[in-house]
Amino acid sequence: MSEVPAVGVARFENARLSRRDLLVTTDSGDIVYESALNQWAVLESNGILDSILPADGARVKGSHVLLGHPWSFGYYHWLFEALPRLSLIDAIPELSELPLILPGDAKPFQLESIVRVGIDIDRLWRPSTEVSVVDRLYLPTLFAPSGVPSPKAVAWLRRAFLAAEDTQPPTGRRLYLSRSDAPQRRLLNEEEVVGYLTSVDYEVVRAGDYSFDEQVSIFAGVTHVVAPHGAAVSNMAFAPRGTQLIELFGDSYVNGCYWALASILDQPYGCVIGKSEGLDYTVSLGRLKQVMANLRG
């Protein structure tokens, strides 16, 4: 059984912050690998390994805390990796009122979730120049490797966004999360799958059509979810313990992050792996019915 890594907050004096991806380098020019999620791919895609940062940057006076990270524009990475950093910040009195650094193009769900936990928008700071030099930068560490939900992060999300964990009765809603508006990893035979699911009382939902608060509210009462793998499944963090999840994949890409999340929350989990066609895929309706029956016991 793997151990949950220790978490903490690092402090850097005269830290250089790159606007692109919010990468941090020290005043001696060393890259802070933690700011790249400990992912070599982040450094390669950023181009920082093949370039020389300007010797000077816009000076940012005072102390700031880095909340965002290179992948925090994604809903999953924001929920499970960036946002829970607030629990570390709040635990240290001298950090609890400091400005929080977000990307310049912060997404609506990022701002909505921050407001929901009681943080004033005026407390946010977003870089506007290629490189900023921050007098004193605090960097909270990751709760777990990127892509792996941490039990501590999940517990914090439920405390922060559910009025009273596990006390609200499920609404009984059954959801199919559509990715019909996504650029990739779409279910090609969605019409066939939806035709069956709606006949057994599932609703079709596109999570992106709803605000952050609305998504939390919807998932707080669900009992069954069927979904192609995608960011919307992150909302299972707000679903009751015992909510059933069936995840759909193509055989060219399978990711276990939501299986791990379901394990943390005692949510029965099954998956159907179909045949990929490029970045999209088709699944067997017969196999889906079989998995649904197996989960019913």
- At 149-165, the pLDDT tens digits run 999 999 999 999 997 54
CA distance 129 to 19: 7
> pLDDT band at 5, cuts 50/70/90?
low
Helical (H) or strand (E) element with 250:
strand 244-250
What mean pLDDT is predicted for residues 85-99?
Answer: 94
Q: What pLDDT was estimated at residue 55?
A: 62
Quick one: what percent of the chain has pLDDT higher than 90?
77
pLDDT given for residue 52 in this prediction: 60
pLDDT at 194: 98
Q: Mean of the pLDDT values across residues 218-228?
A: 97
- For 162-191, the pLDDT digits (tens) are 975 455 666 789 999 999 989 999 999 999
Confidence (pLDDT) at 185: 93
∠ CA 193-173-72, nearest 5°, is 80
- d(Cα 273, Cα 205) in Å, to the nearest integer? 21
Q: Taking 60 as the threshold, does the pLDDT of residue 4 lie above it? A: no
**Does pLDDT of 50 surpass 70?**
no
Mean pLDDT computed over every residue of the chain: 91
pLDDT, tens digit, 9 for 90 and up, residues 236-246: 999 999 999 99
pLDDT, tens digit, 9 for 90 and up, residues 258-292: 999 999 999 999 999 999 999 999 999 999 999 99
Among 87, 209, 206, residue whose Cα is nearest residue 157 = 87
d(CA 177, CA 202): 10
| Dihedral angle of Cα 105, 122, 146, 295, to the nearest 10 degrees | -100
pLDDT above 50: residue 1: no
Domains of the chain, by residue range, sit at 9-144, 173-296
Residue 20: is its pLDDT beyond 90? no
In degrees and rounded to multiples of 5, residue 269 shows phi and psi of -130, 140
CA–CA distance, 142 with 136 (Å, rounded to integer): 19
Q: Which residues contact 236 (CB under 8 A, 6 or more apart)?
A: 219, 225, 243, 245, 258, 261, 262, 265, 267
| Mean pLDDT confidence for 88-97 | 93
Q: Which pLDDT score is estimated for 175? A: 98
Instruction: Return the CATH number of the domain spanning residue range 173-296.
Output: 3.40.50
Tell me the residue ranges of DSSP E strands in 51-146.
58-66, 100-101, 124-125, 131-140
The yes-or-no verdict on residue 86 having pLDDT over 60 is: yes
Question: Per the structure block, which two tokens stand in for 84?
Answer: 């829970």
Tell me if residue 146 falls in helix, strand or coil. coil
Query: How much is the pTM?
Result: 0.91
Give yes or no for residue 78 having a pLDDT over 70.
yes
Q: Which ranges of 140-209 does DSSP label H, i.e. alpha helix?
A: 151-161, 190-199
Over residues 76-100, the mean pLDDT reads 95
Pure H helices in the chain: 40-46, 75-77, 85-90, 108-116, 151-161, 190-199, 212-219, 257-264, 285-296
